[in-house]
Structure 1
Amino acid sequence: MTIIRTLSLTTALIFTLGLSQPAHAQGTQIAFGGLKHDSSLPIEVTSDQLSVDQGTGKALFSGNVVIGQGPMRLTAQTVEVIYASEGGKIARLLASGGVIMINAGEAAEAQRAEYDLESATVVLTGNVLLTQANSALSGERMVIDLDTGTGRMDGRVKTILQSGNE
């Protein structure tokens, strides 16, 4: 009975995470229900320092950077803001140094992140760790589609499945 219960819980968890193949495979599809997000919301940035280069159209926030957009939060040591060539809108955010992204109880950590506002995608690279409830998933690169709340983890993907037993 315990073995059947453990297998049922493990199978349910795999389907909940949306894994379409074994977690040790080179690429894994993931459901990011909590990471679905409205990328048209205003962006608030706080940091210890700001440098602006009018010539290149870039701004560099450094030191304890916190970016908020609706319920989503991204923290890093530095974030470069790249503006679109027309209209002065933010095109991309390039974060580095202890990047943490949190939204609706899900958290992702990485060395670097690139948030493309036009395509509403976030690409996390370098020792990526995703935490969803009691489960963890790691790899070298993760791409999140914020419009659909889905993503893909690549690069020697590893997961920990909780069996439900203490």
Structure 2
Amino acid sequence: MRSLASFLILSAFLLIPAITQAQQVTFGGIRADTKAPVEITADKLNVNQESGKAVFSGNVLVGQGTMRLKAEQVEVQYAKGDRTKISQLVATGGVTLVSETEAAEAQQAVYDVPAGTVVLTGNVLLTQGENVMSGNWLNVDLRTGSGQMDGRVRTILKPGTK
């Protein structure tokens, strides 16, 4: 009986790292109308006609519907063969992604506009009300509000009170 209890305790400790490696999360608030116009404001803009890239720098704010993304620099990459359609936005330097009810911070974010996904990397911190989750990588589907946190995931959950 004692060996069974030891086995169960050991099994529980072995499962904890597996559970904390990847965590599915729901984002009720980090959703965006991916068809809405993307508005970008910044202190400076550099455009390279040959490469088809535009780099916004200094207090960059990207807005789409109710979603806001803030960073020190955002590179706009256009679709190959069509410089009127945005392919990706690559944000670096103190990246913050916010919605009405949630906020995420990271070192970098890549917004794949046609796919409607944002991948945040580097010391990701997600706040949902009083709940906090951190990890190395966060992938958010803006259309569905679903996401996955990966890489040494740590969660602090505040139980509801009556």
> Normalising TM by the smaller chain, what interval?
0.7 to 0.9
Deviation of residue 89 (structure 1)?
0.6
Shift of 1:113: 0.1
Which amino acid is the alignment partner of residue 139 of structure 1?
G
Letter in 2 for 1:70: G
SS in 2 for 1:110: strand
- Residue 35 of structure 1: how far off its partner (Å): 1.1
Aligned to 1:115: 111
Instruction: Tell me which residue corresponds to 1:25.
Output: 20
Q: Please, which of 45, 54, 57 is the counterpart of residue 59 of structure 1?
A: 54
How many residue pairs get matched? 145
Percent pairwise identity: 54
Deviation string, structure 1 residues 53-89 (Cα, Å, up to 9, x no partner): 0000000000000001111000000000001123321
Q: Which amino acid aligns with 1:33?
A: G
Out of 143, 149, 155, the position equivalent to 1:153 is: 149
The equivalent of 1:39 in structure 2 is 34
**In structure 2, how many angstroms separate the alpha carbons of the residues matched to 1:140 and 1:38?**
26
Aligned to 1:97: 93
Q: 2:120 matched to which residue of 1?
A: 124
Unaligned runs of 5+ in 1: 1-20
Distance 1:48 1:120 in 2: 26
Question: TM-score if structure 1 supplies the norm length?
Answer: 0.83
Secondary structure, counterpart of 1:25 in structure 2: helix
For residue 56 of structure 1, give the secondary structure of its aligned residue in structure 2: coil
Shift of 1:33: 1.1
Whole-angstrom CA distance in 2 between matches of 1:123 and 1:61: 19
The CA RMSD over aligned residues, in Å, is 1.6
CA deviation digits over 1:109-145, x for unaligned, max 9?
Answer: 0000000011100000000000000010000000000
Separation of aligned partners in 2, 1:52 and 1:24: 45
CA distance in 2 between partners of 1:23 and 1:33 (Å) = 25
Give the superposition deviation at 1:163.
3.1
| 8 Å Cα contact 2:31/2:67 also seen in 1 | no
Q: Counterparts of 2:144 and 2:21 in 1: how far apart (Å)?
A: 22
Question: Contact (CA 8 Å) 2:61, 2:69: kept in 1 or not?
Answer: yes
Q: Secondary structure, in 3 states, of the residue corresponding to 1:33?
A: coil
Larger Rg: 2
